[in-house]
Structure 1
């Protein structure tokens, strides 16, 4: 690798031998999450048997039921919407479903490995996009585990390690670490669903504000500008919840939207995510991979976002963006801005081009949104980082080998970061 190429790549992921992270961010983290530590309800390999998620019966309150809407909704979207009120773990067994294609699933695993940089980049941008959904954001604010850059780095680096384990191991082998890790995450979801939907905590979660955590709004935030730019582009969207119709947290709908957050931008906009050289067969593998993970996480196949052909899933991605994501983004408030700023500031220690300004502008570019007022307010550094992203991702289409080089560098960077944290611990 030439010196110029190495310097360019390091601008994106940083030197593998240095975290670039200040002491205030680097703290000992716990990345090995045991089932016993978080939830003890997995028995005989079947999650969900005595999870506290039924503290409030979903039939007792009108939560997440879609009112009449004039927005055009596809039959597949309407099917997903029926999961708004369904607990996020339907009790799927851990055995492979009859529809599983092992060869296609493994192709998706291989795609994830080769395109790790693009997948990680898209997952961060998906969070910048979808954290505007209050049903997803309020539980994060309530737990207080990601409302500062240091804590956000801790939480999302842990998530990165989970997903890395799933594509590097065999999630279908009960003896494999990947299988055990995935079930531990499934247990955590069940435990948190029981807490968030309990009669004691539900209203507290739904009414949480970032100010409750001691964070004051600055004099000149960006969210007013975001609202101004998007007010005529978003449309009404789908009325999923409201003051008189609070959500059922971690529902089948939420789990389905989580699948979108991990693969949707790459499937719907591969060129803008750096995967323009990927074939349809590669992306079909990615979709099937996440369909399989969804099954093991307890997503009923009816609500599995990745059920269907590549064209059908891509169409569903675009529909979610148009009817759910963009309308929510047009209602952005200080809760969203603070949590997203914490996210990208924390993760910028692993991917140096990240910033709230650059990330939001790249999301707008990906979704073809016009944000002139936001662009006018961007700092010089924010603009430089954005154009560096644009240039780098554009080059990946013409030089796909750089994708694999960036993925290897990111892998080395995160491994070194983990080792440094372990040493400090």
Structure 2
């Protein structure tokens, strides 16, 4: 980024926040939360408090959230990837990513998002206790965020705010939890455990309780996620800037050497469908009242044949087959193999980025992450 020429005004973004759904009676608490987040959260940053567990931490509930990674590995990571794509549509977050120059090319995006994957896996795999790799990972991520925030602040781009962190939280859990019924996933324990786990993670990463998109229980979390999706994410995706598409292409093309089924066309379609953007419906149930709208443009028809196949194949798998244990086992195994190879033998990346660049480590003392990555 040079002289801030790519910066999209956050005030313009605030004006674009959706005023649709006015016919729907909004929950007053949800409205109050979102207004506070978008106004006050946009000027407050991480206060730099010590890394300590919150007083409301529930160990049993947290571990319950962790264990669902084994059961729903495929859809959790698919939802997170769509969430990461959606996050790029939020101008203030996109500006910071452009400023840090860690995601603007496929090569840099590969390393950044490989680290993100390995950190998330650490949060699901290791025990939450001081001295563990879980704790080490969180500490590294938080310090990196603070460094990036200070650096971008000096360049007049703006730091990482409470609003940015809370909306990024949505990226990690919003689609998989709100979209659970769309894949026939009616597991209340999963929703409660996941909500509490990410509430704790948000707190440890510097989000104040008043801004945390995850509340004291799933009902509160659902309320906040729903209004954020409809009022923030949907209009942001509908009005995404050219930089969004460029960064999304870098993200997905960057990871493509380790997963050939990641294409910008199909994943942008998946993401906009999850946010209920008009024109990105696929099944009848995607439409309001489950009735197709005559003559409405369908962006599926604009996709190339390979992207149309990936969308049709992917949606059929998760909508109708994921509910069966044998299919979940197959899909989970496939993702586990990809992640195993990505860590130990990323052969596809070797040819595109070279052997040295292809290996990503988050805990090695010589890790690039520890020196200047965000």
Q: TM-score, normalised by structure 1?
A: 0.68
Please point out which of 313, 317, 340 is paired with 1:388.
Answer: 313
Query: CA contact under 8 A between 2:65 and 2:197: conserved in structure 1?
Result: yes
Which runs of structure 2 are paired with 1:164-179 in the superposition (5 Å)?
164-171=121-128, 173-179=129-135
The yes-or-no answer on 1:406 pairing with 2:331 is yes
Query: CA contact under 8 A between 1:92 and 1:295: conserved in structure 2?
Result: no
Query: CA contact under 8 A between 1:130 and 1:261: conserved in structure 2?
Result: yes
Partner of 1:197: 153
Change in Cα spacing, 1:153 to 1:70, as seen in structure 2 (3 Å) is: closer
Query: CA contact under 8 A between 1:92 and 1:299: conserved in structure 2?
Result: no
Partner of 2:119: 162
Q: Offset at 1:366?
A: 2.3
Please point out which of 81, 85, 100 is paired with 1:124.
Answer: 81
Larger RCO (CA within 8 A; separation ≥ 6): 1
Task: Give the greater-gyration-radius structure (CA).
Answer: 1
Which runs of structure 2 are paired with 1:341-360 in the superposition (5 Å)?
341-360=249-268
Query: CA contact under 8 A between 1:112 and 1:286: conserved in structure 2?
Result: no
Query: CA contact under 8 A between 1:294 and 1:304: conserved in structure 2?
Result: yes
Partner of 1:336: 244
SS at match of 1:354: coil
Please point out which of 161, 174, 179 is paired with 1:264.
Answer: 174
Partner of 2:6: none
Cα distance in 1 for residues equivalent to 2:17 and 2:274: 27
Kindly tell me the number of residue pairs found equivalent between the two proteins: 314
Cα distance in 2 for residues equivalent to 1:381 and 1:70: 33
Which runs of structure 2 are paired with 1:187-266 in the superposition (5 Å)?
187-198=143-154, 201-202=155-156, 205=157, 248-266=158-176
Q: Offset at 1:147?
A: 1.9
Q: Offset at 1:101?
A: 0.8
Q: TM-score, normalised by structure 2?
A: 0.77
Cα distance in 2 for residues equivalent to 1:359 and 1:382: 9
Change in Cα spacing, 1:144 to 1:91, as seen in structure 2 (3 Å) is: closer
Between stretches 262-271 and 350-359, larger displacement belongs to 350-359
Cα distance in 1 for residues equivalent to 2:193 and 2:301: 40
Query: CA contact under 8 A between 2:214 and 2:224: conserved in structure 1?
Result: no
Partner of 1:296: 204
Cα distance in 2 for residues equivalent to 1:64 and 1:334: 15
Which runs of structure 2 are paired with 1:128-143 in the superposition (5 Å)?
128-143=85-100
Segments of 5+ residues of structure 2 without an aligned counterpart are 1-9, 23-29, 280-296, 357-374
Q: Offset at 1:183?
A: 0.5
